[in-house]
Chains A and B, each alone.
Chain A
C-alpha cells in the first residue's frame, strides 16, 4: 500500500465509523466492506486506512484466501472506548441540566 496524502485534519466521524464497524464485527473485515461502512470513496478510504494503520489503531491481516482484511487493534479499541466515554460524559452533563 503506497503512502497517500494524509488529510490535514481527519474527520472524526470517518475515523469512528471505521473503528466502530471493526469493533462491532469483532474479527478481521474485508477492505471493501469496511469502505462501504465508512461511506467514503475509495481514495479517501485508502487515505484514512493508511492513517489508522500508521497510528496502530488498525492492522492489515492476510487470510488463507489472500484477501486483505483489516482488524482493530487493542489501541484502536481503547481509542474508540475513550471517544464514547467522552461523548457519554458530554451528554450526561446535558441530561443533568435537563
Chain B
C-alpha cells in the first residue's frame, strides 16, 4: 500500500461550522444580556470562554492527510525538500515538520510510524504574531468577536496551504518514485539556502525582540527613576504648600529621567540596529540564492555563486549563535513569568505605600501615621531587587551556554575548513 491521499475538505468545513457554534453558544449571553442590569457572574467572561472553545477546536484538531508504506526518513526528506522548493521555511525534527505558511500561520505536519506505514497528518497553528492577533482580543473580552474571525482566517490559510502545496507532493498512486537523493547538488543547495534563511530570520527576530525589550526596560527604569527622584525632591522641599512642592519636584525629576533614558535608547539603537540590518541583508542575499536553486533558474551574469554566498554566510555563524541564544527573556517562558511576577508584585506595593504616606502628609488619612506603608515600600523595593538579581543570573547562565557552544563550534568546524584547503592544494599539485 502506498500513499492514500485523504480528502479532508468536508471535515474542515464541519470543523469550521462547529467552531463558530462553539464560540456563540457560550458567548451569546454576553452579547445578548451584556448591557442588561442584572447580569450573572459568568456573563462578563462568556466571550473569552467561547473564544477558547473555538481555538481549542481549530488548533488542537489533527487531520490525517494520508499513509505511505515507506520508512520515516525518506518520507520526511521528500516532504521537506518539496516544501523548501516552494520557498516556505520548514524546521525538521524526528517526526515533525513545522512549516511557516506566512507571517501569521504555521502548519505542523506529523509523521507517525505504524504497521501500515507512515501516517501523515497536520495541525493548524500560528506564529507569535498570529497568536497575538487571536489571544489579545480574546482576553480583552469585548473585541473577542475579532478573535473568532482571525482564528478562522488563520485556520483557513493553513488548510488551504495543505490542500494546495502539501497534497500535490504526495503521489496519488501511492508509490514514492522520485525521491531526490540527499547528495544531489541542487537538493543540498536548496536545503542549505532554506536553512540559512530560516536561521537569519530567527536571528533577526531575536535581535528585534531584544531591541524592543531593552527599550521597554529603559522606559520602565526611567519611569521608576522619575518616581524616586520625585519622592526625594518632594520630601526634602521646605515649601509648606503641597502643590508647590509637587510642581517644584515634577520638572527636575522628569528632566533627570529623560537625561538618562535618551542616551540609553541611543546606545541600545547603536548596538543592536547594525546587527539587525546585517541579518536583513543576509536574508535578502540568501533568499536570492534560494529562489535560483528552487526554481533552477539562471542567476544574473555577474552574481556571486550560490556556494560563495552560502560559504560567506557560515562565517557569521558565531554572531548568529550569539543572537539566537541570547534571545530576549520573553522567549524563556519560565524566566519571563517569574520576572513579571516580581515586578507585578513589587511596583504596586511601592505606589500604594507612597500613596498612603502622601495622604497622611496632606492630612487626608486622619492623624494616624500609616505604619504599614514603610514595610510596604521597603518590600516593594526588595522585590524589584530580587527581580534584578534573578534577571542577572538568567543572563549569566545564557552567556555561559553561548560561550560553551562557541568553543564547541570552533572545535567542530575546523575539519571541513581544512578539508577544503587540502582539496585545493591537492588539485594544485595534481597536474
Given A84-B189, A97-B408, the answer on whether A91 and B310 have CB atoms closer than 8 Å is: yes
Decide if the interface of chain B is mainly helix, strand, loop or mixed: helix
Cβ contact within 8 Å between B307 and A16: yes
In the complex, whether A68 has a CB less than 8 A from a CB of chain B is no
B311 / chain A contacts, CB cutoff of 8 Å: 13, 87
Residues from 394 to 417 in B contacting A, C-beta threshold 8 Å? 405, 408-409, 412-413, 416-417
Evaluate contact between B308 and A89: CB separation under 8 angstroms.
Answer: no
Interface contact B413-A90, CB-CB below 8 Å = yes
Interface residues of A in 2-16 (CB under 8 A from B): 9-10, 12-13, 15-16
B314 CB-CB contact with A under 8 Å: yes
Which chain A residues in 57-98 approach chain B with CB under 8 Å? 57, 79-91, 93-95, 97-98
* B321 adjacent to A36 (CB under 8 Å): no
Which residues does chain B contribute within 8 Å of A85, judged by CB atoms? 183, 188
Q: Which residues of A contact B428 (CB under 8 A)?
A: 9-10
Judge whether B173 is part of the interface by a CB distance below 8 angstroms: no
Q: Given the interface contacts A97-B409, A98-B321, does A20 sit within 8 Å of B307 by beta carbon?
A: yes
Q: Determine whether the beta carbon of A98 is less than 8 Å from that of B423.
A: no
CB <8 Å contact, B431 and A55: yes
* 0/1 interface trace, chain B 298-332, chain A, CB 8 Å (1 if under): 10011011111011011001001100110000000
A residues less than 8 Å from B205 (CB atoms): none
Q: Does A31 contact B (CB under 8 A)?
A: no
Report A82 CB to chain B, min CB distance, Å.
Answer: 7
Contact A94 B314 (CB under 8 A): yes
Whether a CB of chain A sits under 8 angstroms from the CB of B427 is: yes
Are the C-beta atoms of A88 and B192 separated by less than 8 Å? yes
Q: How far is the CA of A54 from the CA of B409 in the complex (A)?
A: 37
For residue B187, give the distance in angstroms from its CB to the closest CB of chain A. Answer: 10
Contact code string B216-253 (vs A, CB < 8 Å = 1, else 0): 00000000000000000000000000000000000000
Cα A55 to Cα B310 in complex, Å, equals 25
- Looking at chain A's contact residues, the main secondary structure is helix
A97 and B188 alpha carbons, distance in the complex (Å): 19
- Residue pair A20, B305 in contact (C-beta under 8 Å): yes
The interface centre, meaning the residue of A10, A16, A79 with most chain B CB atoms within 10 A of its CB, is: A16
| B-side contacts of A47, CB under 8 Å | none
The verdict on B424 contacting chain A, using a C-beta distance below 8 Å, is: yes
Docked CA distance A93–B417 (Å): 12
Residue among A37, A82, A83, A88 with the most chain B CB within 10 A?
Answer: A88
- Specify which chain B residues have a CB less than 8 angstroms from the CB of A95 in the assembled complex: 195, 199
Q: Which of A16, A23, A39, A97 contacts B405 (CB 8 A)?
A: A97
A59: min CB distance to chain B, Å: 15
Most buried by A among B302, B307, B325: B307
Closest to B404 in A: A97
Instruction: Determine if B199 and A98 form an interchain contact, defined as CB atoms under 8 angstroms apart.
Output: yes
Knowing A36-B302, A37-B302, A90-B416, say if A83 contacts B308 (CB, 8 Å): no
- Give every chain A residue within 8 A of B408 (Cβ-Cβ): 97
- The minimal Cβ–Cβ distance linking A49 to chain B, given in whole angstroms, is 14
Q: How far is the CA of A84 from the CA of B408 in the complex (A)?
A: 23
Once the chains are docked, how many angstroms separate the CA of A95 from the CA of B92? 12
Q: Does B185 contact A (CB under 8 A)?
A: yes
Closest CB in chain B relative to A11 CB, distance in Å: 9
Known contacts A12-B424, A85-B183; A36/B307 CB under 8 A: no
In the assembled complex, the Cα of A94 lies from the Cα of B196 at a distance in Å of 10
Q: How far is the CA of A39 from the CA of B298 in the complex (A)?
A: 15
Q: Can you list, as one digit per residue, whether each of B172-191 has a CB less than 8 Å from chain A (1) or not (0)?
A: 00000000000101001101
Closest to B292 in A: A24
Contacts A9-B428, A20-B305; A83 near B199 (Cβ below 8 A): no
Q: Does B419 contact A (CB under 8 A)?
A: yes
- A8-34: contact bitstring with B at CB < 8 Å (1 yes, 0 no)? 011011011100110111000000010
How far, in angstroms, from A13 to B305 measured CA to CA in the complex?
A: 8
| Contact status B423-A82, CB under 8 Å | yes
Binary contact track A34-62/B, C-beta < 8 Å → 1, others 0: 00110100000000000000110100000
Q: A80-B185, A84-B189, A86-B416 are in contact. Are A94 and B305 (CB under 8 A)?
A: no
Interchain residue pairs A-B with the least CB separation, the first 10: A90-B416, A20-B305, A94-B317, A17-B305, A36-B301, A16-B307, A86-B416, A13-B308, A39-B302, A93-B412
Interface residues of B (CB under 8 A from A): 183, 185, 188-189, 191-192, 195-196, 199, 298, 301-302, 304-308, 310-311, 313-314, 317, 320-321, 324-325, 405, 408-409, 412-413, 416-417, 419-420, 423-424, 427-428, 430-431
